[in-house]
A and B are shown apart, each in its own frame.
Chain A
């Protein structure tokens, strides 16, 4: 087991060298300092008090927020709650935030009117494209020049050279494993799905667990996401370059599907109904030893609530998994960030911008908020739970494609892959179905003629 741990650490170190190309200096320093951090745990309390002090001061003085309207729409997980609360505190009493799981259904409608109901939407790299497609958000270049000089450059999301969003957190899926189980079968920490299959076979053969592999394979969005990871891992391209013409019915597509099916043989028979909540629950129940899971979800798996000590004490995170020999990790990188609506007055846009900039400033980081996400701002101190996401970034993983029609393909994937996994049709047939479903949808949406 010690070997396994060391190999991960060694890998992260090796990856760090590669990371120079990919990573911004800031993240890199954090990685480098990670070992020190653990030694300096005692110091963090002091840092936190200092940070709390600044937040309080900011709230009193309304920071650098200008007068105007702020109304936020976004998802409702804790990190976004933190950002929204800080932004609202800065903007003043009239500011509003509508944080709901249904944000994607209302954000376009809420930003279409003039003036827009929502002056900002918090989105991810998959959901920003809908706002760009509908032309409801504005380029932020002028606002950044006027009010956002101190926002680090790596947080700025640019499309065709224009700043469209400011990112504040990162996320990725990576391996989560049970150190005690791997030790029991004498296996190293898997770095590829092939390793996962071998370890799973051993675990089952030794009678430790009947279904040692977990994964969010619920039909729909989750399943499509797993295929997206796997297909990227095999080195496949989703579309013909520069066009909306889909091209997944190829050797890589088949390879990705076959690997998913091979993994599913080691999963709980109900895997097609397991979303990431259900998968986490399986983990906490101690039924699973290896799974590909979101970095944002690993925190709750490693705390002492909801599971037996032998489970949470032995829950460890690894890096992203590889498949085949393409050299690209089978995972996608995600960011969450904020935008500014197009149909608002300049005054409101400036107020929104300054408030949101305060919402994602390093001042929001404190003891409580630090663990909510892998924050992109300076001053973020990674904890062991964050290792997986950082390793995924360092390994040069691919960001989830920010392409206007990726969402249509995602839906088509989610609707069809279950047919193959259940054995009712061939991989080629499934891929052909996906292409046909996507093509019909893309035609309707004007991406294909």
Chain B
């Protein structure tokens, strides 16, 4: 395709992405390299309906002068990345020296907020992504063989976990797995342990978050595969059948290769989405048991005093990790581009 034609075809899309994603990305990276100015603290007396108390406040005039001098804030370089709430370089170094064996080092590491979040995020991504793809694939195969009249409702019900507003959807699931909810009671009955509570135990909470993750995103893999199945070459299938290929062989040698590009796509999107896992942690109030990188960002931005630089640094780290995670898939796409030439 000619350069000029290509340019006009992609122009609207690229313009939007530059304006609304690339520019904010630049500002986020900049933000993460600066910390706030020194805040000049003065002691004051505050009064209100409950009497007067001694407190402190920011001296606006003195602070304004500092702000004027450096409008972006104080240059921090990589300090924010290295502090305890992020990569915690010096704390990790200390732990490595003082650790009494590897398990002890691991415990110290998991006590640092960033590594704790990273630990859950990586486990979640590693488990949920493949399960989603496999489950989605089998649902697509199964739905594709349903009688045509039944397909609409089947597709609709299969899509429900994705359609029902995650906000309320997870609230309802959260209630259902409560020790006195219908699923929670069911689990207690299955495990014959009347004191079993998913919300009270860290391993069970992790399992539930992951189960929810697969349940919620399997419809995505399903519908992509289902659409892909519609374009499988029927002639090839018939030919394979005449050659005596079993059903499994037909799937293995005709359907799976046909769906391979879609699998790449699903894997990319799912890896990325799972790495940014956030909503279930909020909806399930799971913060005591599991935190993720996105949760850390939310926490920085949602407090009474917002930690903009800290949130920016965590965002940049998230992007870097996602890029590392996707690199195998990207290398593959790169090679595809090479062979096409």
Direct touch of chains A and B (CB < 8 A): yes
**Which residues of A come within 8 Å of B, CB atoms?**
21-22, 24, 27, 104-105, 108, 125-127, 129-130, 132-133, 135, 154-161, 167, 170, 218-220, 223, 241-244, 268-270, 272-275, 278, 333, 335, 376, 393, 397-399, 401-408, 410-411, 414-415, 418-419, 421-422, 425, 429, 433, 436-437, 439-441, 443-447, 449
Q: A22-B50, A410-B303 are in contact. Are A445 and B56 (CB under 8 A)?
A: no
Which of B44, B199, B306 has the largest count of A CB atoms less than 10 A from its CB?
A: B306
Q: Does B233 reach chain A (CB closer than 8 Å)?
A: no
Contacts of A444 in B (CB 8 A): 35-36, 76, 80, 83, 307, 309-310
Contact A132 B84 (CB under 8 A): no
Contacts of A441 in B (CB 8 A): 85, 307, 310
Q: Does B258 reach chain A (CB closer than 8 Å)?
A: no
Instruction: List B residues 57-108 near A (Cβ within 8 Å).
Output: 57-58, 60, 63-64, 74, 76, 80, 83-85, 91
Q: A155-B49, A443-B35, A447-B41 are in contact. Are A408 and B287 (CB under 8 A)?
A: no
Which of A154, A278, A411 has the largest count of B CB atoms less than 10 A from its CB?
A: A411
Q: A158-B48, A167-B49, A270-B200 are in contact. Are A401 and B55 (CB under 8 A)?
A: yes
Contacts of A404 in B (CB 8 A): 39, 41, 56-58, 305
Contact B49 A407 (CB under 8 A): no
Q: Does B53 reach chain A (CB closer than 8 Å)?
A: yes
From A242, A272, A410, A421, give the contact of B41 (CB < 8 A).
A242
Contact B85 A275 (CB under 8 A): no
Q: Does B256 reach chain A (CB closer than 8 Å)?
A: no
A238 to B197, CA, bound (A): 35
Knowing that A132-B58, A425-B111 are A-B contacts, what are 9 other residue pairs whose CB atoms are under 8 Å apart, sorted by A's residue number? A105-B302, A159-B44, A161-B44, A218-B285, A270-B178, A407-B303, A410-B303, A411-B304, A444-B36
Contact A273 B199 (CB under 8 A): yes
Q: A129-B304, A449-B38 are in contact. Are A242 and B51 (CB under 8 A)?
A: no
Contacts of B41 in A (CB 8 A): 242-244, 404, 447
Contact B84 A437 (CB under 8 A): yes
CB distance from B50 to the nearest CB of A (A): 5
Contact B200 A269 (CB under 8 A): yes
Contacts of B39 in A (CB 8 A): 133, 404, 445-447
Which of A418, A433, A439, A447 has the largest count of B CB atoms less than 10 A from its CB?
A: A447
A223 to B287, CA, bound (A): 11
Which of B48, B60, B284 has the largest count of A CB atoms less than 10 A from its CB?
A: B48
Q: Does B299 reach chain A (CB closer than 8 Å)?
A: yes
Contacts of A401 in B (CB 8 A): 53, 55
Contact A273 B288 (CB under 8 A): yes
From A268, A425, A440, A446, give the contact of B37 (CB < 8 A).
A446
Contact A133 B46 (CB under 8 A): no
Q: Mark B178-217, 1 if CB is under 8 A from A, else 0.
A: 1100000000000000010101101000000000000000
CB distance from B207 to the nearest CB of A (A): 15
A443 to B43, CA, bound (A): 19
A429 to B111, CA, bound (A): 10
Contacts of B42 in A (CB 8 A): 160
From B46, B60, B303, give the contact of A408 (CB < 8 A).
B303
A244 to B58, CA, bound (A): 11
A268 to B113, CA, bound (A): 27
- The 4 lowest CB-CB distance pairs between A and B, nearest first, are A407-B304, A219-B288, A418-B288, A160-B44
Q: Does B286 reach chain A (CB closer than 8 Å)?
A: yes
A155 to B300, CA, bound (A): 32
Instruction: List B residues 298-319 near A (Cβ within 8 Å).
Output: 299-307, 309-310
Q: Does B243 reach chain A (CB closer than 8 Å)?
A: no
Q: Does B47 reach chain A (CB closer than 8 Å)?
A: yes
Contact A408 B48 (CB under 8 A): no
Contacts of B46 in A (CB 8 A): 157-160, 402
CB distance from B181 to the nearest CB of A (A): 11
Q: Does B235 reach chain A (CB closer than 8 Å)?
A: no
Q: Does B45 reach chain A (CB closer than 8 Å)?
A: yes
Number of B residues near A (Cβ < 8 Å) is: 59
A-B contact list, 29 entries, CB within 8 Å: A132-B57, A132-B58, A133-B39, A133-B58, A135-B58, A154-B49, A157-B47, A160-B44, A218-B287, A223-B288, A241-B54, A270-B178, A272-B285, A397-B50, A398-B53, A401-B53, A404-B39, A404-B56, A404-B57, A404-B305, A407-B304, A410-B304, A411-B303, A411-B304, A421-B288, A422-B202, A437-B113, A444-B310, A446-B74
Contact A399 B60 (CB under 8 A): no
Contacts of A161 in B (CB 8 A): 44-45
Closest residue of chain A to B305, judged by CB?
Answer: A407
Contacts of A449 in B (CB 8 A): 38
Closest residue of chain A to B47, judged by CB?
Answer: A158
CB distance from A166 to the nearest CB of B (A): 10
Q: A132-B57, A220-B287, A418-B288 are in contact. Are A446 and B36 (CB under 8 A)?
A: yes
CB distance from A213 to the nearest CB of B (A): 15
Q: Mark B17-52, 1 if CB is under 8 A from A, else 0.
A: 000000000000000000111110111111111110
Contact B47 A269 (CB under 8 A): no
A419 to B110, CA, bound (A): 11
CB distance from A67 to the nearest CB of B (A): 30
Contact A446 B38 (CB under 8 A): yes
Q: Mark B99-134, 1 if CB is under 8 A from A, else 0.
A: 000000000000101000000000000000000000
Contact B288 A422 (CB under 8 A): yes
Contacts of A440 in B (CB 8 A): 83-85
Contact A445 B36 (CB under 8 A): yes
Closest residue of chain B to A217, judged by CB?
Answer: B288
Q: A399-B50, A444-B80, A446-B36 are in contact. Are A433 and B58 (CB under 8 A)?
A: no
A405 to B39, CA, bound (A): 10
Contacts of A443 in B (CB 8 A): 35, 83
Contacts of A125 in B (CB 8 A): 48
Contacts of A132 in B (CB 8 A): 57-58
Q: Mark B241-272, 1 if CB is under 8 A from A, else 0.
A: 00000000000000000000000000000000
Q: A127-B304, A408-B303, A444-B83 are in contact. Are A270 and B179 (CB under 8 A)?
A: yes
Contacts of A27 in B (CB 8 A): 49
CB distance from A260 to the nearest CB of B (A): 13
Contact B305 A270 (CB under 8 A): no
Closest residue of chain B to A220, judged by CB?
Answer: B287
CB distance from B118 to the nearest CB of A (A): 15
CB distance from A32 to the nearest CB of B (A): 17
Contacts of A127 in B (CB 8 A): 304
From B43, B45, B291, B301, give the contact of A105 (CB < 8 A).
B301
CB distance from B281 to the nearest CB of A (A): 10
